[in-house]
C-alpha cells in the first residue's frame, strides 16, 4: 500500500505534538489512539457519498522510531482507500492535506 511519509528529527513525543498541530491545521482530527484510547469525533464528507466508506475510515497515521533518533511518520494514502471515481476529488483533497501536514513537519 502506498503511504505518504516523512521523517522528522524529533523524539516521538515531540513529533506527536507537532503532527497533531500540523494535521489540525489541515482540517484533520484524531479519532482514536491505540496507546491512549481517547476518541474524538469528526465528520467525513465521504460518508455522505457512501456510508460503506466507514469501513476504511479513518486515515491511519503511524509514528515509529526513525534513523538518527528521529521519528518516521507514515499516513495511509486516501486515494488507495477510496479508488472509486465518485471519491476522486475528495480523496485527492484529503491526500493533499495529509501531504501538507507532513510537509509542514519537515520544513
pLDDT in tens, 33-85: 654 223 323 346 666 666 556 555 566 788 888 878 889 888 888 888 888 89
On the question of pLDDT at 25 being above 90, the answer is yes
Q: Alpha-carbon distance 2 to 37, whole Å?
A: 26
Average pLDDT, the chain: 78
Cell 528521529 sits on residue? 70
Number of CB atoms found within 10 A of residue 71's CB? 23
- Position 17 scores a pLDDT of 92
Gap between the Cα atoms of 2 and 5, Å rounded: 9
Of the two residues 38 and 14, the one the predictor is more confident about is 14
The pLDDT, as a whole number, for residue 9 is: 92
CA distance linking residue 37 with residue 51, whole number of Å: 24
List the one residue out of 55, 49, 51, 94 whose CA is nearest residue 75.
94
Neighbours of 94 (CB within 10 A): 24
Q: Which of 36, 37, 34, 54 is nearest to 45 (CA)?
A: 54
* CATH classification code of 3-106: 3.30.310.70
pTM across the whole model = 0.59
Question: Residue 14: pLDDT band by 50, 70, 90 thresholds?
Answer: very high
Amino acid at each position: 500500500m502506498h503511504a505518504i511519509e516523512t521523517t522528522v528529527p524529533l523524539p516521538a513525543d515531540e513529533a506527536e505534538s507537532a503532527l497533531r498541530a500540523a494535521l489540525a491545521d489541515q482540517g484533520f482530527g484524531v479519532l482514536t489512539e491505540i496507546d491512549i484510547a481517547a476518541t474524538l469525533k469528526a465528520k467525513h464528507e465521504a460518508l455522505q457519498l457512501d456510508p460503506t466508506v466507514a469501513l476504511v475510515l479513518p486515515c491511519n497515521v503511524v509514528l515509529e522510531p526513525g534513523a538518527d533518533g528521529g521519528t518516521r511518520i507514515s499516513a495511509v494514502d486516501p486515494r488507495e482507500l477510496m479508488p472509486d471515481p465518485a471519491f476522486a476529488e475528495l480523496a485527492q483533497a484529503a491526500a493533499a492535506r495529509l501531504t501538507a501536514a507532513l510537509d509542514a513537519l519537515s520544513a
